[in-house]
A and B are shown apart, each in its own frame.
Chain A
Amino acid sequence: MRGLSFRTIILTAIGASLALTGCSQNDNKETVSAEAKAQAIQLNYWTPFSGGDNLFMTEMVDQFNQEHDDIQVVQMNSRLDDYYSRLRTAILSGNAPDVAIIHASSLPQFVQNDYVEDLSEPAEEVGLDWNVYNKSVMKAALFQGKPYAVPLDTHVLVMYYNKTFLEQAGVLDDQGKPAIEGGETGFTKFLTTIKQAVPSDIAPLAQPSTRIDSVWLWWSLYNQIQGGGKFYNEDSTKAVFNNPAALKALSYVEGLYKSKLIPPNIPDAFKLFNEGKAAVLISGVWATGALEKNEQLNFGVVPLPTIYEKPAAWADSHTLTIPAQHEMTPEKREAAMTFMKWLAEHGAKWAEAGHVPSVSAILDTDAFKALDYRSDYAEAANAVAFWPKHTKQHSLIEVIIRQFERMIYGQQTPEQALQATEAQINLELSK
Chain B
Amino acid sequence: MNLLKRPQHWFKNLALARKLILINVLLIVVPLGVIGAWSFSIFASKMEEQVGKYQLQMLKQVTLNIDTYMNELNRLSLMPYQYQEILDFLGTSRDPGEALTLQEIDDLNNFVSKVFLNGRVDIMGISLFGEHGASYVVLPESQYMTTYQLGGNPEWLDKAKGRFGQPTFITTHDVKSTSGTVYKVFSIARELRSFDSGDTLGYIVIDIDPAAVRKLLSQVSLGSKESLYMTDSVGDLVLRKEKTAIYPVIEGLTQEGVSHHKVDGKSLLVAHVNSEVTGWTTVGVVPISELMKDSVVVRNSILLIGGICISLAVLLSVVIAFRITSPLRMLRTLMRKVERGDLKVSFPVKQWDEVGQLGSAFNMMVSHLSELGYRLYETEIREKDAEIAALQSKINPHFLYNTLGSISMYAEVEGNQEVVKMTNNLSRLLRYSLSGRKDTVTLRDEMDHVQGYMTIQKMRYEERIDFRVEVDEALYSCPVIPLMIQPIVENAINHGLDKGIGEGLIRLSCYQEQGVLTIVIEDDGIGMTSEQLSTIRYRLEKIHDLGGTTGNGLMNVHRRIRLHYGEQYGLQLESMPFQGLKVIINMPIAYSMTG
Contacts and interface: CB of A to CB of B under 8 A. Distances in A.
B313 A14 contact: yes
Interface string A1-13: 0010011011001
Interface in A263-286: 264-265, 267-268, 270-271, 274
B143 A271 contact: yes
Interface string A75-93: 0101101100110000000
Interface in B41-71: 42-43, 46-47, 50-51, 54
Interface in A14-58: 14, 16-18, 20-22, 24-25, 27-33, 49-52, 54-55
Contact of B121 (A16, A51, A78): A78
Contact of A274 (B32, B47, B140, B179): B179
Interface in B178-195: 178-181
A24 B298 contact: yes
Nearest to A49: B141
A268 B323 contact: no
B316 A6 contact: yes
B309 A21 contact: no
A85 B117 contact: yes
Given A18-B35, A81-B116, A294 B100 contact: no
Contact of B312 (A10, A49, A54, A271): A10
A210 interface: yes
B179 A270 contact: yes
Given A13-B312, A20-B302, A30-B294, A267 B146 contact: yes
A363 B265 CA distance: 60
A86 B313 contact: no
Contact of B39 (A3, A22, A294): A22
A25 B35 CA distance: 12
A422 interface: no
Given A29-B51, A76-B121, A267-B143, A17 B99 contact: no
Main secondary structure of the interface of B (DSSP, over half): helix
A52 B144 CA distance: 15
Nearest to A270: B178
Interface stretch (A122-130, A153-161, A316-324, A405-413): A405-413
A293 interface: yes
Given A6-B320, A28-B50, A13 B180 contact: no
A13 B141 contact: no
Interface residues of A, number: 52
Interface string B137-149: 0001111111000
Interface in A134-193: none
> Ordered nearest first, which 8 A-B pairs have the shortest CB separation?
A265-B99, A52-B179, A268-B143, A271-B178, A290-B179, A17-B309, A409-B102, A21-B39
28 contacts: A10-B313, A13-B312, A13-B313, A14-B32, A17-B305, A17-B309, A20-B301, A21-B36, A24-B43, A25-B39, A28-B47, A29-B47, A29-B51, A29-B291, A31-B223, A52-B177, A54-B141, A55-B181, A81-B109, A85-B113, A267-B143, A268-B142, A268-B144, A268-B145, A268-B178, A274-B178, A274-B180, A406-B102
Interface of B: 28, 32, 35-36, 39-40, 42-43, 46-47, 50-51, 54, 99-102, 105, 109, 113, 116-117, 121, 140-146, 177-181, 221, 223, 291, 294, 298, 301-302, 305-306, 309, 312-313, 316-317, 319-320, 323-324
